[in-house]
Amino acid sequence: MSLIETLSQTRDLPDTELTALLTTDKFDQELFRRADERRREFYGTDVYLRGLIELTNYCKNDCFYCGIRYSNARLERYRLSLDTILNCCNTGYELGYRTFVLQGGEDPFFNDDRLVEIVSAIRTHLSQKHLADCAITLSLGERSRESYQKLFDAGANRYLLRHETADAEHYAKLHPESMSLEYRKECLWMLKEIGYQVGTGFMVGSPFQTMECLIADLRFLQQLKPSMIGIGPFLVHRDTPFNEYPNGSLSLTLRLIAILRLMFPYALIPATTALGTIDPQGRELGLRAGANVVMPNLSPVEVRKKYELYNNKIHTDKEAAENKALLASSVAAAGYAIVTNIGNVKPDCPNDGHSQCAGHSQCVDAMY
């Protein structure tokens, strides 16, 4: 049995064999083919939309790789008003979005009271319009358990918090001393315990990353079992301490997406904006490697270039409708179809795939 078939059937390989898959292109054709088969077994050709609303580019943290880091004095800062956020949701719903992702830096202005007001207002607004088939996802960094609980009680369903690297020594090289991998992981476990559907992930090719770091990431994901796994290549921002490091590798990122699909066949895996930034066909290649989610921008056009985590971010100048049309065309060209759907995660299936289990009592979609 080949390495890839073993991985597909057992969802695991020893470290040395995972490293072998990651460090050569000789397995790529079989790897991508099998990953695509697995995503079709669980999700068919469906691609789910997540509408990003970039709430604020203020951040108290000073992560060495990030363009909206606290020390970037060249960045023009902004915050969206509640009315603007609700307008973004309206626009998105009309275009077929059923998940709205509030993303932002760790901005002290948005304390618990303000965020609870925003989440409650979105949930009330959606309910008044009979839009109960929508999810609210937050991606607002590290907070306290009490804060996460308040936001969950206000109506948030999901939370995205990338761990960035599961290797503590590597983490310390990417972040200031005020931040710790231990607390980042603690936040992820807290979110799961509260009841959120949790997404996490890591950068590929960040400075000082080794193959051992990537294997540690895969092992941590096996422990956490997140509903969504988001990875993308490290991309340089000119106004950071890492501005002279090379970008991450497209090919390595695609191999990892495929490996993740085989290890976590039920997971929601995005073809990220970073993939589309590093290569014009990056998102399409990500879908063919096993991804099944895209996350277009619903933020007002006038603020998008201000939320620049890395250089040359794509589609910052496109209106939401134009962006959706371009994306639908590229997804179709890759052999898939954007669907108007909340995009629930598929639970693990007794049939090891959903193609033969319509109506199966254990295969009712979980909330994600």
Average the pLDDT over 53-81 and give the result.
Answer: 98
Using the structure block, give the residue that is written with the tokens 């607002």.
140
How far apart, in whole angstroms, are the C-alpha atoms of residue 314 and residue 363? 37
Query: Average model confidence (pLDDT) for the chain?
Result: 93
Stated pTM of the model: 0.94
pLDDT tens digits, residue range 179-201? Answer: 999 999 999 999 999 999 999 99
- For 73, 165, 206, the CA distances from 170, given in Å and listed in that order, are 26, 7, 9
Q: What pLDDT is stored for residue 127 in this prediction? A: 74
10 Å CB burial of residue 285 (0-12, 13-18, 19+) is: buried
How far apart, in whole angstroms, are the C-alpha atoms of residue 255 and residue 261? 10
Q: What pLDDT is stored for residue 362 in this prediction? A: 45
pLDDT tens digits, residue range 304-314? Answer: 999 999 999 88
pLDDT confidence tier of residue 1, bands split at 50, 70 and 90? confident
Both tokens assigned to 223? 């422990």
51-56 and 46-49 as β-strands: parallel, antiparallel, unpaired? unpaired
Domain ranges of the chain: 13-351
Average the pLDDT over 71-75 and give the result.
Answer: 97
Q: Among the CATH numbers 3.20.20.70, 3.40.50.720, 3.30.460.10, 3.40.50.970, which is that of 13-351?
A: 3.20.20.70
pLDDT confidence tier of residue 331, bands split at 50, 70 and 90? very high
pLDDT tens digits, residue range 48-57? Answer: 999 999 999 9
How far apart, in whole angstroms, are the C-alpha atoms of residue 267 and residue 262? 10
Q: What pLDDT is stored for residue 194 in this prediction? A: 98
Phi, psi of 66 (to 5 degrees): -105, 135
In this model, does residue 230 exceed pLDDT 70? yes
How far apart, in whole angstroms, are the C-alpha atoms of residue 135 and residue 146? 21
Average the pLDDT over 272-284 and give the result.
Answer: 94
Q: Which helix (H) or strand (E) holds 166?
A: none
Both tokens assigned to 204? 């590929």
Q: What pLDDT is stored for residue 314 in this prediction? A: 84
